[in-house]
Amino acid sequence: MTHYQTIVPSHITRTLTTHTLHLKTWLAVSLFTLTALLGGIGGTVAARWLTPAAPASTPPPPAADRPAATETLPVTGLSPVVKATLPAVVNISTTKATRGQLDPGMGLPFFPDIFGPLPQQRPANSLGSGVVVSPDGYLLTNHHVVDGASDIKVTFADGRSLKAKLVGTDPKTDIAVLKVDEKNLPAIPLGDSNQLEVGDFVLAIGNPFDLGQTVTFGIVSALGRGNLGIETYEDFIQTDAAINPGNSGGALVNLQGKLVGINTAIIARGAQGNQGIGFAVPVSMARMVMEQLISKGRVVRGYLGVTLQDLNEALAKQFGVTGNRGVVITDVTADSPASRAGLQPGDVILEFNGQPVRDLRTLRLTVAQTPPGTTVQLRILRNKTPRDISAKLDELPEDQPLGALPGGGEDDRPNAPAGSALPGVTVGELSPAVRSRLNLKSGVIVRGVQPGSPAAEAGLQRDDIILQVNQQPVSSVAAFDAAVRQSQGEVLLRIFRGGANLFLVVPRDRN
């Protein structure tokens, strides 16, 4: 860092001071006297001419008639909020054992190099932040701050350092819970992140760049941010309060000094720090995870057993959906709550327990946060007809690996035909080996998609397996061509790709 200052020779400074002292004193007294006189006269004139006369008999409006007070920034700044919350935000340092190479000579002279390089456990340190949420020593932080740590140390604002125990972590939300053996700790009360609105003021408190406790100020820029590819379950609060490396696990608080989020991630686009786009896990989600980690040692989530896809305009038209809502089921897991309830691929879920379903992300979050064993009510659209279905949720099982892409080693493809009834698309028969390996009862495989064709623009790809045309199974190229020829204008395809099913709408003709 470069510091700048103005340099003036000392003898010149002293000379100017000596010769001008009396002149400055005389000018200061004269100006003060003149200002006082003009101020008195001007103040009287201004008061008479600029202040409208108010009737003496007009009383102040009663309290009930006054405008409602709005949340404003304190006149003295944000120091009262900071003083109340800063002691509960801690710095977290962790130590991890990493594999390295040990010098065969052990650092000693003349030791023969006869064994080759030996493995060595080298400590690696990382830094982050955390938040005390209970006086008896429970803290919230990020999973990625403590992931793989062999030793965790918590440093408080007053300089105390305590060893922390890992209670549990949840990688799917990037939340971890720590515990220190200490009582009467300063703790931040948990707020209600569901009451946040875009534009609300917030403070981000943490340990950026290992500088120590730092407070930044901003607003809630957006709510419900998802599809960022950061975590499995995403419902982020976006803020422009500066968040930098080291802020992870720190506190996002409102002007009432309540915790509303756990700072987690930033979008930097190649920069080394804040660009005004930071994300925090809502405290409502963090609280749910924390309570389960403390009481059960793991997070239990609800499970319906469906694969879902968001609706675009073309899909909504095909399924008869009006308005900006609903998600379509692309697959139903065998022996799952969905299959037992009778849900089918092509059903559109419009409501979950009476609440409109906006998109895939919010439905996944809602199902996951519903306790297993709960019977839920679904409003669906099947064949453009609404119906109500009840389903009893199970517990979410461990993740299953996706099926392999077709074609993996040996070439199971017979000779490809010249084309198909769908312009720009070449399809072939699905070989028995591929059908058995992927456990598919029907389908044809896409051998080629002409660049620039309607099918290519719709997203159809080589090696996709087309299972259905207009929700009717196709088991051969002839059946596929016949189904396409019966379509009017657009073709609704259900395809299998990379172990998952999805729907595509392909126009038969650009016109």
Residues taking part in catalysis:
144, 174, 248
Query: What would the two tokens of residue 443 be?
Result: 């389908």
Give me the half-sphere count of Cα atoms (radius 13 Å) on the Cβ side of residue 454.
Answer: 15
Q: Which residues are within 8 A (CB) of 265 and not within 5 positions of it... i.e. 6 or more apart?
A: 228, 230, 236, 248, 278, 279
Phi-psi region of 308 (alpha: psi -120 to 50; beta: other; left: phi over 0): beta
Q: What is the DSSP string of 465-503?
A: EEEEETTEE--SHHHHHHHHHT--SEEEEEEEETTEEEE
Q: What is the 3-state secondary structure (H, E, C) of 240-257?
A: CCCCCCCCCCCEEECCCC
The CA-to-CA distance between both ends of the chain, in Å, stands at 64
Q: Which residues are within 8 A (CB) of 219 and not within 5 positions of it... i.e. 6 or more apart?
A: 198, 199, 200, 201, 202, 239, 240, 241
Query: What would the two tokens of residue 168 be?
Result: 């549990």
Residue type, 482: A
Query: What would the two tokens of residue 78 be?
Result: 């944000």
What CA–CA distance (Å, rounded) separates 15 from 188? 59
Comparing CA positions, the residue from 391, 397, 393, 353 lying closest to residue 373 is 393
CB 200 within 8 A of CB 180: no
Beta strands in 136-227, from DSSP E residues, in sequence order: 138-141, 151-155, 161-163, 165-170, 175-179, 201-206, 214-225
CB atoms under 10 Å from CB of 488, counted, come to: 7
Residue 169, burial from CB neighbour count under 10 angstroms (0-12, 13-18, 19+): buried
Residue 38 phi, psi dihedral angles, 5° rounding: -65, -35
What CA–CA distance (Å, rounded) separates 239 from 251? 12
What is the 8-class DSSP label of residue 136? T
| Three-state secondary-structure class, residue 102 | strand
- CA-CA distances (angstroms) from residue 465 to 124, 295, 480? 47, 45, 12
What CA–CA distance (Å, rounded) separates 229 from 96? 26
Residue type, 387: R
Cite the DSSP H helix spans in 107-228: 143-146
